[in-house]
Amino acid sequence: MEAVEDIVIVGAGIAGLTTALGLHRLGIRSLVLESSDGLRTTGFAFTTWTNAWRALDAVGIGEPLRPQHSQLFGLQANSTISGLSTAERQFDATETQRDHEVRCLQRRTLLETLANELPSGTIRYSSKVVSIEESGYLKLVHLSDGSLLKAKVLIGCDGVNSAVAKWLGFKKPAFAGRSAIRGCAYYEHGHSFEPKFIQYFGEGVRYGVIPCDDKSIYWFFTFSSSSKYEEMEESPAKMKQFVLGKLGKVPDNVRAVIEKTEPDNIILSPLRFRPPWEILWGKISKTNVCVAGDAFHPMTPDVGQGGCSALEDGVVLARCLGEALRDRQGMSSEEEHRRIEMGLQSYAKERRWRAFVLISTAYMVGYIQQSNGKVLNFLRDRVLAAFLAGQLLKMASFDCGKLNAS
């Protein structure tokens, strides 16, 4: 007899590990399959807004992460055309939320912290899923090494090219027509930047610099893709030159961040998103299968919520499954399957509208911020700048709740 796993999670990224840790905190074991031979830390860092810290606290790792990352106290938007500030927001007081907590979290630190809290053997590396079959109440998960796993619950946290999302009937995410170059610069003796999120817009580009801690600065640069993409794809040196040539009117210390970044710390990736109507009408869950994170709602990075919403997914999914699997001693397979299905439906219902709003808002904000027409440039810099900055804080005011429903 092959062993049956209660819960199999595909992908050891932010959503997968947060779900696994949430379940572990509720006393439920899971197995996480990761196709790579180790934790994947592509992207260097990401802005963790208030909603993300609520999720991190819910799974019990907020406290060890806080001292390792500088708290940011404001957001400043600037025009690359005029060089002037177009909007400024403080994070300590807004209409919707009195206290905002914002930091720039290093992906490696987050993933290692999540992984270290899990029981030994929870993550199985070099385990790529090639196909999924149904067998009664179970899902048969075929791996590239020829092995087979049987799962009572199958959760796809396997990113934009998700095998589980494909099985659920989702199409491949759409290309947004834009790409992002991301990097991280390290200052051995410390940098002089204020703990502030600084963004620049204009001439068809959007970029920003954000301190992670006293010695590292994360930066991103998004642009409309063209034939330039193929030229740069394999050359970090060309990426760096491309960015430096497009910065516009910008202070020397910001330009120096890009110049200081080592080639090994620069990556280029196309921006993809799931069209919002697919989120509204698609199957987020089906019987005992569901998706979370980028497998569920890939979005453009314009409201900084991709990683944050993956953390939310993990908490909500663990809570819904925890409720479904409570007091199951002596329960029949049929009843257990029914409760799992209801639990996943509850998760899908709770997350559908949130994902729809995030994807739609990110796309709208990105479209306006990266526009290159005279009318939109004027509107963005003179009229909409404060509104766009406010959208970031509005999206960050969400509370995914605690792990326990009670």
CA 397, CA 382: separation in Å to the nearest integer? 25
What is the model's pLDDT at position 171?
A: 96
Q: Which amino acid is at 389?
A: A
Between 307 and 230, name the one with better pLDDT: 307
What is the model's pLDDT at position 328?
A: 79
Residue 271 φ then ψ, to 5°: -95, 125
What is the model's pLDDT at position 364?
A: 81
Q: Mean of the pLDDT values across residues 280-304?
A: 96
Helix (H, G, I), strand (E, B) or coil at 205: strand
Contacts of 147 (CB under 8 A, 6+ apart): none
Residue 71 φ then ψ, to 5°: -80, 135
Question: Residues 232-253: pLDDT tens digits?
Answer: 888 999 999 999 999 999 999 9
What is the model's pLDDT at position 210?
A: 97
CA 393, CA 176: separation in Å to the nearest integer? 23
Token pair for 55: 């999720």
Please enumerate, as own/partner, the contacts of 80-84 that have beta carbons within 8 Å and a separation of 24 or more: 80/200, 80/201, 80/202, 80/203, 80/205, 80/247, 80/248, 80/249, 80/250, 81/202, 81/203, 81/248, 81/249, 81/377, 81/381, 82/249, 82/381, 83/248, 83/249, 83/250
CA 102, CA 70: separation in Å to the nearest integer? 9
Q: Mean of the pLDDT values across residues 336-360?
A: 96
CA 2, CA 9: separation in Å to the nearest integer? 18
DSSP string, 256-320: HHHHHS-GGGEEEEEEEE--HHHHHHS-SEETTEEE-GGGT----GGGS-HHHHHHHHHHHHHHH
Cβ density class 51-75: b for 16+ within 10 Å, e for less: bbbbbbbbbebbeebbeebbebebb
What is the model's pLDDT at position 97?
A: 46
What is the model's pLDDT at position 274?
A: 97
Question: Residues 303-336: pLDDT tens digits?
Answer: 899 999 999 999 999 999 999 998 878 889 999 9
Helix (H, G, I), strand (E, B) or coil at 99: coil
Q: Which of 146-160, 168-182, 386-400 has the lowest mean pLDDT?
A: 386-400
CB 150 within 8 A of CB 251: no
Q: Which amino acid is at 297?
A: H
Between 84 and 379, name the one with better pLDDT: 84
Q: Give 370's pLDDT tier (boundaries 50, 70, 90).
A: low
Of 312, 399, 404, 402, nearest to 355 by C-alpha is 312
385: pLDDT strictly greater than 70: no
214: pLDDT strictly greater than 50: yes
Contacts of 101 (CB under 8 A, 6+ apart): 49, 50, 53, 71, 91
Contacts of 399 (CB under 8 A, 6+ apart): 51, 54
Q: Give 96's pLDDT tier (boundaries 50, 70, 90).
A: very low
